[in-house]
Structure 1
């Protein structure tokens, strides 16, 4: 595991957010300290890890029968009799995900559960193709190199840009960017800047939809923050790692063993229905098994719907304004992950991950045997391929059967060799449980701390004023939730790292700040 003050990646301008000092271990306190963590996804696992490492007694309760939440996996039997681990689709572990990677390093110091992808090209149905391989990692050289070789955005387009409107993209500071741009949607911001239509569709729309929302449903501030994290504000680069095997085997089983060695009680298949004030300790929880042992604090880290439900069924909690704010949390539109086990392989030059635009509901294609050991074993044994098709920001009334024919047709357009392939088996996961960050929503987002002392929130829907997103926001809020409780007990917290908290160019910062 990295030392607390060692740079977590390649960027020498990564920012350390030091931990508050205090007692090193809960053993220094009078009496034991007990915490219930509700939700076994990235945020809950992060919080449980940070608490247990300070000697806190932790019970983690997870509704599903597996850890990992939206990055979890479960076993399924295929039509040919073999077993496979299904999940909710491809996940990119960017090198900027400092706090998530620090969590995984607890059990896997070398991050051997991840594998690097050499590129992830983007293609448009009109014939355009962009790539991020071999780009410089640091702004402005990465942006200049992208413009120099992109077929959708060239030097001739630069004079047509609305430079003043574009400045916030290059000079993000959190939370100030939300005060400036949260009233706009991402599509309106891109219109003001005047990006060429092809670049807007191939780069920006693919980017927005990969974060579960169409540009007109996404806050412009959220888009600007994401560009800062992944491209303009960090020198870690745009390439990423993905999981080298099934999610449980590569990620969560090792971390679960680490937590159990620390004394954490891991209880899967344990949905929490509500909580209230205890008699001897601050809180009591009710699960499907009934009343649980009382605890001193609770970390609520379920998905947005789970959080709303628990709070709704817990009338003693919080203040009316806080409860109303939680009730207004929205989910992003549905997305579909379709996994196909084919009886023949795709061409050897097909990338592991391909982003698409202009191909109807199909947003990307993954070739799993390029990176996942389990899929590679199956493909080698059967002489086939394991493909994953993703469709994001779908209509609310969509059904997998309706989309299957269309998505297969688009797959055949992009990878014509699949037209002759037989489908040995298939799985379709239609979900609508990711948070939506709509225009104007920032001020109402729930924060880590709550009006209820000893009750904290964690998850990718929770506000934290650092430049983080997606899994990294979940991991970061988990650390913040643990730190808030540790501080209350006088215990030492855990440090956090982030990409630079403002744009890298002093000149652009000055121009952006001028009226």
Structure 2
């Protein structure tokens, strides 16, 4: 492990979006605006932070008993009574996640709770192995070096690719790329450009499935944007950080302490959390809002940020007939979910071999998508493994089924995942399972062909109602956790404008391809078709 990068990264060509001017403290000289944020995932926490730092009175309502949403952490108990950390699975904190890192730095200015992995290899069913160790950081040399040293990509493959069809991949411009490619699925696009099949399965399929969807059901525009963010659009590098401990301990408890503390320099407001509470509906009362929760209690607000998951957003809007207009409501109702996925965590009585990677991505090894050895980087898991001379291993299966399957099918998947683990890491086959948890979830947004244009954005028909989350449209090159954080800050800025308050500065990788030559070539090819 090496120390993580802090601040806003090393890429001098990252884009800065300046904060809007205005008041720095709305709590001075009168009663501050009262804002309710629904959802305490990354998006909701970013929105709450942005609002509280400008003096708003912020109430955060969260359905779960923990913060962080899909990156939340909690404690469970093994059969022997041991308390262990648990979450929904591995998350990678890339250096180009500027707005997420800005949020985490509020309670951890040096980002000491993140640690960088030196590598994350990819392996396929034929034993071919790709690695990100030692790659140059600057595009396009990073992608070129990765391709040329990959066992699935040969120099003649570059020559055989259809350069005209592939031009948008090397000259992404957001949001224009969606007009070019959002009608295609990623599998068809890669086949059309004659991308080598083996490389397609090992590299692009691994990354596309990180969006919890198969390549044949994923938008080609989303794939191209992802390629831009992590490869050709950024010089931050291709390795990432992980949390040093379970997400609650490392990330969200410290942030909650920062947000709920009073008299913090530079943060005039304070935040109040309501955990284990679901909002049932929202009524409008002139310029104000009345929120009714599942206990029948109400909260009134001058503004609202809806930062729920897709299902929660659809449910609340459907039950709140005075919110928005018909066109906006139809956009919300049309939001769709990605297929169901499974996370299987194992507490084993024997260690995993020391040469195993902390994180291993897999291709063509259905249903397994990756293996994490948690005790190599997560403190609670490391403590347990040291005390028991064992190990803590996690298996992911993305996009397993269109819906969460019945118990028999879930048991079958568990057995198939274990069989894959035992084949990949044979030493685990003789280990006893001292504890296991298998989580099934289906709450990630879908990014299929045609979804982008219909997706609702941060702004809504009501100027004091904003949306946030990784399923909300934003015309910036951001994805996954960074999309959630970015929309959260943007939602806060939207609300703050209503009171002439200063916004918050944001950053992203460049919004268009870095190479003027590739951009010119892509433009020429688009106009000559």
- What TM-score, normalized to structure 2? 0.95
Give deviations 1:96-126, integer Å, cap 9, x for gaps.
0000000000000111111111100000111
**Helix, strand or coil: the match of 2:254?**
helix
Alignment coverage as a number of residue pairs: 509
For residue 404 of structure 1, what is the aligned residue in structure 2?
A: 414
Query: Is contact 2:463–2:495 with CA below 8 Å preserved after alignment?
Result: no
Deviations for 1:47-67, whole angstroms, at most 9, x for unmatched residues?
Answer: 000000000110000000000
**What is residue 461 of structure 2 aligned with on the other side?**
451
Match runs of 1:404-443 below 5 Å: 404-443=414-453
1:505 aligns with 2:515: yes
Asked if the contact 1:400–1:428 (Cα under 8 Å) also holds between the matched residues in 2, the reply is no
1:287 aligns with 2:297: no
Partner of 2:282: 275
1:341 alignment partner in structure 2: 347
Separation in structure 2 between the aligned mates of residue 222 and residue 247 of structure 1, nearest angstrom? 27
> Which residue is equivalent to 1:175?
175
Structure 1 counterpart of 2:325, from 319, 327, 330: 319
Deviation at 1:166, TM superposition (A): 1.4
Partner of 1:74: 74
The answer (yes or no) to whether the contact 2:292–2:299 under 8 Å persists in 1 is no
Where in structure 2 are there 5+ consecutive unaligned residues?
Answer: 1-5, 262-268
Distance 1:400 1:14, change over 3 A: same
CA contact (8 A) 2:362 2:368 kept: yes
1:341-368 per-residue CA deviation (whole Å, 9 max, x = no partner) reads 0110111000000001121200000000
1:86 alignment partner, SS class: strand
Counterpart residue number, 1:202: 202
Q: Is the 8 A contact 1:341 1:384 kept in 2?
A: yes
Task: Name the CA distance, whole Å, in 1 between partners of 2:99 and 2:297.
Answer: 34
Alpha-carbon distance in 1 for matches of 2:253, 2:423: 39
Q: 2:387 matched to 1:381? A: yes
Q: Among 470, 477, 492, which residue is 1:467 paired with?
A: 477
| CA shift for structure 1 position 7 | 6.8
Among 262, 271, 294, which residue is 1:264 paired with?
271
User: How far apart are the structure 1 equivalents of 2:67 and 2:302?
Assistant: 24
1:87 aligns with 2:87: yes
Q: Distance in 2 between matches of 1:141 and 1:61?
A: 46
Q: Is the 8 A contact 2:182 2:220 kept in 1?
A: yes
The residue correspondences of 1:194-233 to structure 2 (distance < 5 A) are 194-233=194-233
Deviation, structure 1 residue 396 = 2.5
Asked if the contact 1:278/1:294 (under 8 Å) is kept, the reply is no
Give the structure 2 partner of residue 149 of structure 1.
149
Check whether the contact 1:339–1:387 (CA below 8 A) recurs between aligned residues.
yes
Structure 1 residue 28: Cα displacement: 4.7
Q: 1:341, 1:425 within 8 Å by CA — same for their partners in 2?
A: yes
| 2:52/2:58 contact within 8 Å kept | yes
Whole-angstrom distance in 2 between the partners of 1:117 and 1:376: 16
5+ residue gaps, structure 1: 1-5
SS at match of 1:366: strand
Q: Which moved more, 1:87-96 or 1:76-85?
A: 76-85
Is 2:403 the counterpart of 1:392?
Answer: no
